[in-house]
Structure 1
């Protein structure tokens, strides 16, 4: 029934190994708790999703290339937040509406 070693030397070795393992587990717990706290902080302090964005062309002074709904997955990295009136004006000026999120439908603008 007792599967522990009978001699003191092996019991001390086992005790040392268990203490080291417990330290590693506690360190991992602290790491995971820190990661979760950082994620929660990031989620709590994330800026709100904009209603509309315009995707910008490549290069300084390049014209806008596409209008998107704020949470569109197809919007590129080069973008600028715009308001509803700016989005309508850009679409009226001939800037392409995203074919995925269809901001023209959301804004009631017909092409």
Structure 2
């Protein structure tokens, strides 16, 4: 093994520093990539929200057979969202349905919002 001198303590510390520096650079690159990915996802989410159409002002809920009308809701009613059987309606369609004795939702009270009181 001709002439190799043992690694001095100072050389060992410098070597250890280079290894740690290389690992830190690699980890920082990885974290930077994660940050870029998350920024891209957030941008896409915001763009999706901006492109989403506005919710309707009024909803008409149909029965299980999709032919009879069960209720009238405001567009932001949580009960309508749970039913999954609602279709958007115009203000006039909502008023007409209420006047034809379609029951208003007991949670969002579209009859009160529309000013139709019995």
> TM-score, normalized by length of structure 1?
0.82
The alignment status of 1:22 with 2:28, answered yes or no, reads yes
Q: Classify the secondary structure of the residue corresponding to 2:61.
A: strand
Equivalent in 62, 73, 80 of residue 68 of structure 1: 73
**1:29-108 aligned within 5 A:** 29-59=35-65, 61-75=66-80, 76-108=83-115
Structure 1: stretches of 5+ with no match in the other structure? none
Q: Classify the secondary structure of the residue corresponding to 1:67.
A: strand
Structure 2: stretches of 5+ with no match in the other structure? 1-10
Name the CA distance, whole Å, in 2 between partners of 1:80 and 1:109. 21
Looking at secondary structure, tell me which structure has more helix per residue: 2
Deviation, 1:30, is: 0.8
**Which has the greater radius of gyration?**
2
Deviation, 1:43, is: 2.0
Corresponding residue pairs, total:
106
TM-align CA RMSD: 1.9
> TM-score, normalized by length of structure 2?
0.78
